[in-house]
Chain A
Amino acid sequence: MRTAADLKKGEKAIILDVDNSHYSSHRILEIGFTPGQEIELVNKSIFDDPIAIAIRGTIIAIRKNEAVCILI
């Protein structure tokens, strides 16, 4: 299954689910990454990690190993 960490720059996707077993899943849900939301990978840091995701009108920087729990 694809996750937000697999997104290419400029690619949009709809969140299908958030993997609850990941230690960061609650914070990720709390800041608005909920199923059905549209996200867009707007930028990557110099080493392609962390990535910047547009969600709900803002931009969130998040590490790839945390973005893997956002299923798309």
Chain B
Amino acid sequence: MHSHLTTLTKNKIPLITLVGQPNSGKTTLFNYLSGKRYKTVNYPGSTVEYSISKILGKFAVNANILDSPGIISLIPSSPDEKISVDSLFAHPKHGIPDIVAVTVDASQLSRHLFLVKQLIDAKFKVIVVLTMLDILYKKGIDISESKLSEILNCKVVKVNGINGKGIHELLQAISEDIDDVKYDSSISAKVFSNADDLKANLIESYDEIARIEKEVFFERKISAANGKLDLQKVNESIVVLNSPRFLNKPDAATLKIDKIVLHKFWGILIFFAVMTLTFTSIFYLAAPLMDLVNEFFSVLSDTASNLIGNNWFGDLVSNGIISGLGSVLVFLPQILILFLILGLLEDSGYLARGAMLIDKPLSKIGLNGKSFVPMLSGFACAIPAMMAARTIANKRERMLTIFIIPLMSCSARLPVYALLIAFLIPQDKPYIGGLVLAAIYVFSILSSIVIASLVNKFQGKLIKEKDDSSFILELPTYKKPKLSIVINNTVKNAKQYVMKAGPVIIYLSLVLWLLTFFPNYDPVVDEAGKTPEEITQLKDAERISGSYASSLGKIIEPVMKPIGMDWRVGVSLIATFAAREVFVSSLALIFRITGDGEEDMQNSILTSMREATVGDTGQKLFTTASTAGLIVFFVFALQCLSTVAIAKKETGGWRIPILQLVIFTALAYIMAFITYNGLRAVGIS
């Protein structure tokens, strides 16, 4: 049986799993070994991701390398960690790793050796990869890898994942160990039956690590003297460093910066400055890029329409497919910029401080400092935001964070607001638009605070969850962000958005096109004495009023009336459940607007909006009151099927997504009703 297992291992490509604590340089090393050509996969039935790749050909080691999420210990304390740990012992797809390479921050040896000890005790074949040596050297200390290797009885290498120093030694160690791997079926983590045993074991582990530390550190000047290590001298000097206080001091510059960043006055000021800067850059930096994308797709749509001709197929391609595609890609600039900024903030070390600063206020409304990053991401897109919530260990807080994320004003709402605000404000005063937009954001943040605290109170009575709310977070050393890694992650997140939201949006815009084009696709109109252009417009109008969309819209018209809207807006609002941004293209479709080269899409929609009347009454459809009502509707409504799908996945059931859908949509309707009728009551129609 044993020999059979061995052959199996020999035949498959060996698997090397990278394990490490957060901030231990694990991903940097992974990127170096994989050459960034990896694929990111979810563990089955979860949103925890791992990346896998073959080790680059130039390194001449035939093995797969797997990057798993950072863990602190083999005893998991959040669902996210549990999946990572379980998969380490038995990966659902790749089995048990042949080698576990653990990244260890040499400047924080004791805390990081803890995980190494657990892995060795679990009987994994371990290679220790020492990282962050530059920080250690700055303290005037060096570490002897041969000593550490001797004590731990496993290979130890020093690696710089940025410039690749030491990679060769690591690969050497890997190829030696691979030849020598014997599958041991006894791989398992220690299980403790009671809390006291666990505590005793933890303390014992750290005591042992303290003994190891005393033997491996030595003063750096000894190695600098002749360039080569003299073990004898190392042994002599190690004694000097025995005082743990010497290693205990955190980075001095970091402590100084924190004095300001966490200051009662300056800290708050910096926090708001960072937030303001983040949001303004999302809007202002993205705007020209978004215009560019818009322009590109409108030219493409016109070209296609001209090439194919004025028939159903031309209409399908230009209005159905190309516009649908455009409505997905138009948000890409914003999402890229948000993730870029978030990445820079995280890599520099600021995000952890932001989370710490906001923990207290957020805990008052049942959330956690760790809700900060998910909520912030929610302003770009709810999909990555809900996935980011999995770092929150406490279930109740995680659920509540996911619950309120749809209230964060995601970037998909921006084009809708942009259009509706452009309609509301005088054309010669565009700066008012910025103020109105800011007001909408403040309003949506305030609303989400109120709703979170209400839900928190209400839910506290419904679910008697044990209150084990926790906020323990390492404040990493400040450092200059590594742009290549940040960009890499940004691209990964943006891809995720396009792949997840893209297909849904395109299918739905196709369905919408079908509904607006059929069954009356070739209406008969009186062509006498009319120009070809007028005939086309007349035909378009005829076709839409006899379409499926129109019949569908007329069914829901009674619901739309109380908020001052008609069936056309109703159909657009239904279409919006595909994705909010569809609203604009859907209005364009329903009002049959095609860019005519001189006017851009938004202006032609605005013109049609100003001309639109309710039925034959001549009464204007879009008024100040009804448009304001519509904006309020968009603040609250959960109109995004992808969000519902992700919420179901992340919360492990339909309860929360259905509650969200019902509560937020009802709230949207009620608030829009109040806004519309309230404004009319005070004389603003």
A interface with B by C-beta (< 8 Å): 18, 20-21, 23-32, 34-35, 37-38, 42-47, 49-50, 52, 54-63, 66
Q: List 21 A-B contacts (CB under 8 A).
A: A24-B468, A26-B75, A26-B199, A27-B73, A27-B472, A30-B73, A30-B202, A31-B111, A32-B111, A34-B207, A37-B248, A45-B359, A50-B359, A52-B475, A54-B250, A55-B248, A61-B352, A61-B355, A61-B472, A62-B473, A66-B472
Chain A nearest CB, measured from B210 CB (Å): 8
Q: Which residues of B contact A60 (CB under 8 A)?
A: 472-475
Q: Which residues of A contact B466 (CB under 8 A)?
A: 23
Kindly identify which residue among B77, B111, B245 contacts A58, using a CB–CB cutoff of 8 Å. B111
Which of B110, B195, B369 touches A26 (beta carbons < 8 Å)?
B195
State which residues 348-377 of B face A: CB under 8 Å: 352, 355-357, 359-361, 363, 369
Residues of A within 8 A of B356 (CB): 45, 50, 52, 61
The reply to whether B248 and A27 contact each other, CB–CB distance below 8 Å, is no
Contacts of A57 in B (CB 8 A): 107-108, 110-111, 247-250
Quote the shortest CB–CB distance from A40 to chain B (angstroms): 8
Q: How far is the CA of A52 from the CA of B477 in the complex (A)?
A: 13
A49 to B477, CA, bound (A): 20
Which of these, A18, A23, A54, A63, contacts B249 with CB under 8 Å? A54
**Are B108's CB and A46's CB within 8 A?**
no
CB distance from B357 to the nearest CB of A (A): 6
Interface presence of B177 (CB below 8 A): no
Q: Given the complex of chains A and B, what is the CA–CA distance between A30 and B114 in angstroms?
A: 8
A25 to B245, CA, bound (A): 24
Shortest CB-to-CB span from A56 to chain B, Å, is: 5
Is B245 touching A38 in the complex (CB atoms < 8 A)?
yes
CB distance from A61 to the nearest CB of B (A): 4
Stretch at the interface among B25-33, B61-69, B261-269: B261-269
Let me know if B357 and A29 touch, CB within 8 A. Answer: no
A59–B264 Cα distance when bound, in Å, is: 19
Q: Which residues of B contact A42 (CB under 8 A)?
A: 250, 255, 258
Q: In the complex, A40→B357 CA distance in Å? A: 19
- On whether A45 and B73 interact (CB within 8 A), knowing A20-B199, A23-B468, A38-B245, the answer reads no
**Residue B615 CB within 8 A of the other chain:** no
Residues of A within 8 A of B250 (CB): 42, 54, 57-59
Within 8 A of A (CB), among B227-250: 244-245, 247-250
Enumerate chain B residues within 8 angstroms of A66, measured Cβ to Cβ.
Answer: 470-472
Inter-chain contact A61/B244, CB cutoff 8 Å: no
B651 beta carbon closer than 8 Å to chain A = no
Instruction: Give the residues in chain A near B471, CB-CB below 8 Å.
Output: 50, 61-63, 66
- A46 lies within 8 A of B472 (CB): no
CA distance A62 to B360 in the complex (A): 11
Known: A24-B470, A58-B475; 10 extra A-B contacts, CB below 8 A, are: A24-B468, A26-B199, A29-B202, A30-B72, A34-B202, A45-B359, A46-B268, A60-B473, A63-B359, A66-B470
- Closest B residue, CB atoms, query A49: B360
Whether B360 contacts A45 by the Cβ 8 Å rule is yes
Task: Tell me if A's interface is mostly helix, strand, loop or mixed.
Answer: mixed
Q: How far is the CA of A33 from the CA of B111 in the complex (A)?
A: 10
Using Cβ atoms and an 8 Å threshold, which residues of chain B touch A18?
Answer: 199
User: Which residues on B sit within 8 Å (CB–CB) of A43?
Assistant: 258-259, 262
Q: For residue B361, which residues in chain A have a CB less than 8 angstroms away from its CB? A: 47
The answer to whether B206 has its CB under 8 Å from any CB of chain A is yes
Q: Are B111 and A26 in contact (CB under 8 A)?
A: no
A43 to B110: give the CA distance in the assembly, Å.
Answer: 23
Contact partner of B198 (CB less than 8 A), chosen from A21, A26, A35, A47, is: A26
Asked if A31 contacts B472 (CB within 8 A), the reply is yes
Interface presence of B281 (CB below 8 A): no
Name the interface size band of chain B.
Answer: 35 or more
In this complex, the member of A23, A28, A30 whose beta carbon has the largest number of chain B beta carbons within 10 angstroms is A30
B248 & A25 in contact (Cβ 8 Å cutoff): no
Residues 183-215 of B, flagged 1 when their CB comes within 8 A of A and 0 if not, give: 000000000000110110011001100000000
CA distance A21 to B195 in the complex (A): 8
Query: Are A58 and B206 neighbours in the complex by a CB distance under 8 Å?
Result: no
Q: Is B254 an interface residue (CB 8 A)?
A: yes
Residues of A within 8 A of B355 (CB): 61
Minimal Cβ-Cβ distance residue in B for A30: B73
Min CB gap A50→B, angstroms: 5
Tell me if B203 and A56 are in contact (CB < 8 A). Answer: no
Report the minimum CB–CB distance from B359 to chain A (whole Å): 5
A31 to chain B, nearest CB (A): 6
A45 — which chain B residues lie within 8 A by C-beta? 262, 267, 356-357, 359-360
Q: Give the distance in Å from the alpha carbon of A66 to the alpha carbon of B359 in the complex.
A: 13
8 nearest A-B residue pairs (beta carbon): A23-B468, A47-B360, A59-B475, A29-B202, A61-B356, A34-B206, A30-B73, A32-B111
Q: Interface digits, B446-485 against A, CB 8 Å rule (1 contact, 0 not)?
A: 0000000000000000000010101111111100000000
Q: Which interface residue of B73, B202, B207, B468 has the most chain A CB atoms within 10 A?
A: B202
| Residues B245-301 near A (CB distance < 8 A) | 245, 247-250, 254-255, 258-259, 262, 264, 267-268
Residue among A29, A47, A54, A63 making CB contact with B248, cutoff 8 Å: A54
Chain B positions within 8 Å of A21 at CB level: 195
Which chain B residue shows the least CB distance to A67? B472
Look across to chain A and name the residue whose beta carbon is closest to the beta carbon of B360: A47
The smallest C-beta distance from B548 to any residue of chain A, in angstroms, reads 56
Q: Report the bound CA distance from A64 to B350 in whole Å.
A: 21
Q: Give chain B residues whose Cβ lies under 8 Å from the Cβ of A58.
A: 108, 111, 250, 474-477
Closest to A57 in B: B108
Known: A20-B196, A49-B360. A38 touches B468 (CB 8 A): no
- A32 and B110 contact, CB distance less than 8 A: yes
Determine which of B110, B369, B472 lies in contact with A28 in the assembled complex, contact meaning CB atoms within 8 Å.
B472
Q: Please report the C-alpha to C-alpha distance between residue A46 and residue B363 in the assembled complex, in whole angstroms.
A: 14
A34 contacts B203, C-beta separation under 8 Å: yes
> Which residues of the partner chain B approach A54 to less than 8 Å between Cβ atoms?
248-250, 255
Q: How far is the CA of A22 from the CA of B206 in the complex (A)?
A: 20
Closest to A23 in B: B468
User: How long is the Cα–Cα vector from A27 to B110 in the complex, in angstroms?
Assistant: 15
Minimal beta-carbon separation of A15 from chain B (angstroms): 10
| B473 and A46 form a contact (CB under 8 A) | no
